[in-house]
Structure 1
Amino acid sequence: MSSPSSNNPSRSTIASAISELLPKDLTISLYHLATTPAKTAPLFTPAPGKKPATTTLESHFIAISHDNILVFAIELLVYTLVATGERIIFVSKADSSGYLPSSAASYVLADSESRVSLVKTVATTAIRTILEGAQAANPHAKVTLSLFARSQTQYLFPNSAANKKKHVLEDRGLIAWWCRVFDPIFQQRSNAGAKAYLLVPGFDRLQTRKLFPPRGLDSESQWVDGHPLVTDPKRDLTVREVIPHFPDDPKARFLDELMQDEEDTGKKKTVARRGKSWGTVPNLESFWEMMSMRQECSLGRCVGFIWVVIEGEPKKAPKLKDTVEPETPVSPQAESPITQMTELAETTQTIEAVLAESQNVPKTETTPTESNPTETTPPTTQEFTKKLTLDTKTSLAPSTDSPILSPKKRFHSDTVSILLSPRKKKLKTLEAELSLKPPLVAAPVVLDEKRYTRTIDSLLNHSDFATVELAKEGSKNWIRGSYAVVKSSNTIIRDGWDWGEVITGTREKAAEEKKATSEPIVLNAGLIRKKEKPAENAPAVNVLGAGMIRKKAKPMEPESEPTPAPVSKEPAVNMLSAGLIRKKPKAEESKPEGEKVEETKAKEK
């Protein structure tokens, strides 16, 4: 794989943010794909009798590679409600391949005491950058981060579960890890009213709090055990209208099943006249209680729903002008459409030009007065308004004297078309403008929805990460295969088929981190126990375990001075208690053989 220079002038926003958080001896490659905003299916179910809210969607796929192998990837979906400007950022997928070496997986920076995870750093930075782009586009709109945490062996890297080095977190560990990913974003905006929520169906408050990021009890920026969804019967917002339909989301599937059951039982005709409750789910508490009984949230497993809600900045009231410029007196017809057309005419051309155009005469021609036919005086405001009203009514009436009065041409007039333009036409224009806008965050590669989907599918369906060799080949094939798609988008950031951005860190590592690899581990002084030196002329003693030591009985008359036992070449004798001592018969080697036999017979008698 080629190794292009890291001095890339067209560094993307996410690449610049990540490079400021990595150590200097770490180099990775970043691959960022994005789509332009496009109209998508409604995120929320509309209330009966109402049209669904117009919704746009843009996607972001961020992947990193190390030593020519893709090691981590995350996909973010940004939904925008066009009417209100509210944005919901949903973390769709995230996965690691397990081929990141331990030296690059975590490190200690010079200004930090704890170890930093590379994967966590990339995930938090990607989410924060997209969020900041959404806030910059509309500071007054609410932004919500949403995530569904469920432990799986693999999401984005096929067959990576076969890699024994891949560390797959269990359910509770994964939920706690994602809370730590979201927590820096929440802490940065907690003073501005941001709130963070965690809900684990089937867990009580104590079990859920154990998964929160560590923080003091007196901290004001605490996580909330619950959810931010709110129903409002007054606005006709029930359970079905406040739950979003994210892809591969269990609560959305449960919602669809409830709606399907309602249709199958013949209740569809009563939906338009429904009350505050909805079938078997009268409120959100009942909904979450039923969610805890579903297969995805039970059978010994747990899943977590995480939200971070950031309210928009309040709009400032317009300042009143201290001085008012003198204006022309307003006529009683100021609120009529004719007055609006008059104001438009004053901004585009002079009053004389408008009057001349309505009379179909040249600009320089004047109208004589009744008192003096030879003199010409400009008309007053009331006379002009009255004259313009009569001329407009005449121009709208059917006649063949003037070309403006033609039925085919009269609606092509600029002033009349603006006056009669419907609201729907403005909405269509707004949707068209949104679809042509660039992504919230400038990405090196911007694709349409079809080419974006094709590029992601090639990674999911045409790669293998079971071994190191297969992972290298799969990473190379995906990068080279997507190069054709990237090249067709005219957004190549440099020459060569490896279109990723090379990122080298800018931070210093801690000094202890460098010494740990060369110096041996030193124990604390309190953990070291010195070996006692043996006394001079002391015999060697076999040290037995505590359970095998038996104290020797003290003699009746203690000796005046203990004397060391003489050193003997004979083997040491084990001292036994009196009850266990059995005297050894004396040796009778000096007696002849015949005497020994006679003594034996005498003993037998």
Structure 2
Amino acid sequence: MSLRDALLASLATLPGRREFHIHVLVSAPRKRTDLYPYAKPRPRAYLQDIVILLSEQTTFDGPRVVVSAIEAALYNIPATSCGILYISKVDSTGQASRPSPTATLVRAFLRYYADPSTRPIAADHLWIQLFARAQGQYLFPNSAEFSGKKPLADVQLCAWWKRILTDVTRELRESRGDVMIRPYYLLPGYNELEATQSLRMLVVHPPADAPAEFAWIYGHPYSQAETPLPCPPATKEGNQTNLGHFIPSFDDDPKSRFMDEIAHTTNADGVSSPKRKRRKTGGSRPEPPSDDEDEDRGRGELNKVSPEEFWERMSFRQECISGVVTAFFVVALSSPRNHEQLTISAPSPLAPQPGQVSSKMVRRVISTLLNHHDFSTRERALRATETLESAIKGLCEDLAAVPSSPKAAVKHVERPTTPEPVPSLLLEPPRTPPRRAGDSHLPDISPNPFPDPVASLETYHSYIYGSVAVDNAPLPPRAVPAGGQADSAGGADQPGQPRVTVLAVRKKRKAPS
């Protein structure tokens, strides 16, 4: 089953009557050398970009509007038979009917990669990682201005992610007993008791007789030995396993920025030391740097900072002390293959699979979503949905369907506008400032022997686009508080529950003096 079909099958179980339209973009693998830029040696990794857009149609003949989106990255490290699924962003527009399909979409997405039977890469171990930080919008510009969008608060978002990951691991454990699951979470600046109390009222805990795999571990997974870490330890004589072997570096991730600072810091005051000058010999040519100098350059204090100290110091970072509660989640899943599976020759990890597209196409869609659309009102969201879905189909037809300027996507008819210069069609999505110059920026080891896949209409209809009509029993009305009054959502008294009448107490009037 493809990822698109697995997501549609899960969405078909939602209550209510509506139709969902989904677009799934998965790029072909490409080499990356910056996942562990400070490890010696650096493991060879292969990256796939993943973007999922979900639209909803409340009436079968009415317009449809995009309601949810997921942006993720899948890393494959063959040296340790590990995969890393990093959830970069999850967002909604607030335009969906009740119940919102976002939670169901995320659960189905995680379950697809967590299950070894559907996992699209040959990896015995999978690491699911994400950083939860509440914001009004991530992928849908100006959607925070829409009155119908109710973003979760910081503690609510952390509890939401913990509940989602708990559901995924429970379902996986019930269906497959051969998967070892170890979930970890950490709230920077909170000890275990404070973190438990913060999420206690918002998380549905597993039953008391649940297996040990469902017990969340408060802390980091880099001191355990049950599940192999994605980056192999240093094996060359003279190299040391430093912090760079434990902490992966993702785009737009606070851990990566902190790692860069540690790698370029050589004293407690946080001042970077100047580069060493090459010693001159008797001749005019300078002496080349020694192997020890090459090993020390670009590693700073990575040999001195342990994973425990890293996470302790992480709680003082700006991203974690800005007045909001944040959380890091890591779920380790281990399911070694049997002897028959090991004897089957696997294809090259760089070989494109059916349905995959080029990474340029994925970046182009993300750039269009972030730079050319507005989701502040219902009308603008409808126009953005039509333009964005047409652009994806047009790219599969080899048409330049991406708008040439932001004004082309959001037209204002109140007054004429002055034409603007045509920008580049390949805009990069906004991201955090680039890393500091040094060994963290590494070129590819060798060119990709496989050409980028070319999307076609057959790829579009077979793997990218899909729809499912939902016609199930509606969601029951919300519970009514004491007094029998409906809530703000328009609920009513529940059948079979006694109606409670609240009597008003009359105050006794004082006799006139």
- Which of the numbers 58, 66, 70 marks the counterpart of 1:70? 66
2: distance between equivalents of 1:301 and 1:282?
26
- Residues 85 and 138 of structure 1 are in contact (CA less than 8 Å); yes or no, is this contact kept in structure 2? no
2: distance between equivalents of 1:495 and 1:90?
25
Matched, 1:82 2:55: no
Letter in 2 for 1:298: I
**Alignment match, 1:14:** 6
> Which range moved further: 57-66 or 277-286?
277-286
**Alignment match, 1:365:** none
Q: CA offset at residue 215 of structure 1?
A: 2.8
Matched, 1:250 2:254: yes
Letter in 2 for 1:238: N
Deviations 1:166-211 (A, max 9, x none): 1111111111111112112211345532011111110111222242
Matched, 1:435 2:422: no
Q: CA offset at residue 93 of structure 1?
A: 1.1
Deviations 1:18-42 (A, max 9, x none): 2442236221111111111111233
- Residues 55 and 80 of structure 1 are in contact (CA less than 8 Å); yes or no, is this contact kept in structure 2? yes
- Residues 14 and 125 of structure 1 are in contact (CA less than 8 Å); yes or no, is this contact kept in structure 2? yes
Letter in 2 for 1:545: K
2: distance between equivalents of 1:509 and 1:237?
56
CA separation of 1:208/1:463 partners in 2, compared to 1, >3 Å: closer, same or farther? same
**Alignment match, 2:98:** 105
2: distance between equivalents of 1:459 and 1:95?
12
Q: Secondary structure at the match of 1:185?
A: helix
- Residues 369 and 388 of structure 2 are in contact (CA less than 8 Å); yes or no, is this contact kept in structure 1? yes
**Alignment match, 1:61:** 51
Return 5+ residue gaps in structure 2 as ranges.
Answer: 58-63, 226-232, 277-291, 399-453, 479-485
Q: Secondary structure at the match of 1:194?
A: strand
2: distance between equivalents of 1:224 and 1:526?
44
2: distance between equivalents of 1:27 and 1:520?
29
1: distance between equivalents of 2:476 and 2:365?
43
Letter in 2 for 1:451: M
Deviations 1:304-343 (A, max 9, x none): 100110012264599xxxxxxxxxxxxxxxxxxxxxxxxx
Q: Superposed, which structure 2 residues align to 1:221-232 within 5 Å? A: 221-230=214-223
- Residues 51 and 362 of structure 2 are in contact (CA less than 8 Å); yes or no, is this contact kept in structure 1? no
CA separation of 1:264/1:144 partners in 2, compared to 1, >3 Å: closer, same or farther? same
Q: CA offset at residue 451 of structure 1?
A: 1.7
Q: CA offset at residue 278 of structure 1?
A: 3.5
Q: Secondary structure at the match of 1:39?
A: strand
Which 4+ stretches in 1 moved above 4 angstroms?
133-140, 231-235, 266-271, 314-318, 493-496, 506-513, 516-524
2: distance between equivalents of 1:182 and 1:242?
22
Structure number with higher helix proportion: 1
- Residues 264 and 301 of structure 2 are in contact (CA less than 8 Å); yes or no, is this contact kept in structure 1? no
CA separation of 1:529/1:450 partners in 2, compared to 1, >3 Å: closer, same or farther? closer
**Alignment match, 2:191:** 204
CA separation of 1:506/1:165 partners in 2, compared to 1, >3 Å: closer, same or farther? closer
- Which of the numbers 380, 401, 415 marks the counterpart of 1:470? 380
**Alignment match, 1:369:** none
- Residues 112 and 118 of structure 2 are in contact (CA less than 8 Å); yes or no, is this contact kept in structure 1? no
Q: CA offset at residue 97 of structure 1?
A: 0.9
- Residues 26 and 504 of structure 1 are in contact (CA less than 8 Å); yes or no, is this contact kept in structure 2? yes
CA separation of 1:66/1:136 partners in 2, compared to 1, >3 Å: closer, same or farther? closer
Q: CA offset at residue 160 of structure 1?
A: 0.9
Matched, 1:169 2:157: no
- Residues 142 and 310 of structure 1 are in contact (CA less than 8 Å); yes or no, is this contact kept in structure 2? yes
- Residues 53 and 83 of structure 1 are in contact (CA less than 8 Å); yes or no, is this contact kept in structure 2? yes
- Which of the numbers 488, 493, 501 marks the counterpart of 1:528? 501
Question: Which protein shows a greater Rg?
Answer: 1
- Which of the numbers 519, 527, 545 marks the counterpart of 2:507? 545
CA separation of 1:47/1:72 partners in 2, compared to 1, >3 Å: closer, same or farther? closer
Q: Secondary structure at the match of 2:9?
A: helix
Return the TM-score normalized by structure 2.
0.68
Deviations 1:234-264 (A, max 9, x none): 8632212110001111011100111122493
2: distance between equivalents of 1:284 and 1:181?
26
Q: Secondary structure at the match of 1:264?
A: coil
2: distance between equivalents of 1:168 and 1:512?
22
2: distance between equivalents of 1:492 and 1:11?
18
Q: CA offset at residue 526 of structure 1?
A: 6.8
Q: Secondary structure at the match of 1:251?
A: helix
Letter in 1 for 2:397: K
Q: Secondary structure at the match of 2:26?
A: strand
Q: Secondary structure at the match of 2:397?
A: helix
Return the TM-score normalized by structure 1.
0.58
Q: CA offset at residue 137 of structure 1?
A: 4.9
Q: CA offset at residue 483 of structure 1?
A: 2.0
Aligned pairs, number: 398
- Which of the numbers 128, 141, 160 marks the counterpart of 1:145? 128
- Residues 71 and 99 of structure 1 are in contact (CA less than 8 Å); yes or no, is this contact kept in structure 2? yes
**Alignment match, 2:22:** 30
2: distance between equivalents of 1:260 and 1:46?
11
Identity of aligned residues (%): 26
- Which of the numbers 105, 113, 116 marks the counterpart of 1:122? 105
1: distance between equivalents of 2:24 and 2:506?
68
Q: CA offset at residue 507 of structure 1?
A: 4.7
1: distance between equivalents of 2:2 and 2:205?
39
- Residues 21 and 121 of structure 1 are in contact (CA less than 8 Å); yes or no, is this contact kept in structure 2? no
Letter in 2 for 1:265: S
Q: Secondary structure at the match of 1:258?
A: helix
- Residues 46 and 53 of structure 1 are in contact (CA less than 8 Å); yes or no, is this contact kept in structure 2? no
Q: CA offset at residue 476 of structure 1?
A: 1.2
**Alignment match, 1:214:** 205
CA separation of 1:45/1:230 partners in 2, compared to 1, >3 Å: closer, same or farther? farther
2: distance between equivalents of 1:19 and 1:299?
36
- Which of the numbers 451, 457, 470 marks the counterpart of 1:505? 470
CA separation of 1:133/1:470 partners in 2, compared to 1, >3 Å: closer, same or farther? farther
